[in-house]
Amino acid sequence: AAPDIRRKLQKLEGFAGMNITQLIEVANKVFMNREVAANREAERGLKKKATFLAAALKETDATKMGRPQPPKGGNPRAPLAKDQCAYCKEKGHWKNECPNRKGPSKSSRHREEPRGENLIGLAWIDSD
């Protein structure tokens, strides 16, 4: 016999005087309760998992995967105008032309070389 059925039968007073059908009825009730108890345990486990999942989702949603949240008062950065510098926020020039920026500007780095001076004159060589 299963341990839970044996325990239930031993707890009953006068189980020794019961006939077989009464003992089978008690064993059947214990067996049915075993299924109900197992279902209850499974439901508790599912509820526990759902609670953990909800807490994790809430935490993930609040932190946006470790990224800091912007202030709720509005957008912290205003959009730039078409002719506004992204470095000093003044109008009339762009970041690559900003006079307040240290270092060479992009426009001075990408100067075009005069076309005719550095070309090799292979086109003028006569091949006889």
How confident is the model at residue 117, as a pLDDT? 55
User: Are 57 and 24 contained in the same domain?
Assistant: yes
Number of structural domains found in the chain: 2
At 30-61, the pLDDT tens digits run: 888 878 888 889 999 999 999 988 888 877 66
Task: Say yes or no: 57 and 84 in one domain.
Answer: no
CATH code of the domain in which 85 resides: 4.10.60.10
The DSSP bridge partners found for residue 2 are none
The residue range of the domain holding 17 is 3-63
Distance between CA atoms of 78 and 67, rounded to whole angstroms?
Answer: 20
> Positive or negative, the Cα torsion across 113, 117, 122, 124?
positive
**In sequence order, what are the residues at sequence separation of 6 or more whose Cβ sits closer than 8 angstroms to the Cβ of residue 55?**
none
59 and 7 housed in the same domain: yes
Distance CA 32, CA 108 (A): 87
User: What values do phi and psi take at 74, rounded to 5?
Assistant: 140, -170
Q: What's this model's pTM, rounded to 2 decimal places?
A: 0.31
Dihedral over Cα of 68, 70, 76, 80: its sign = positive
Low-confidence ranges of the chain (pLDDT < 70): 1, 60-76, 104-128
**Which pLDDT does position 10 carry in this prediction?**
76
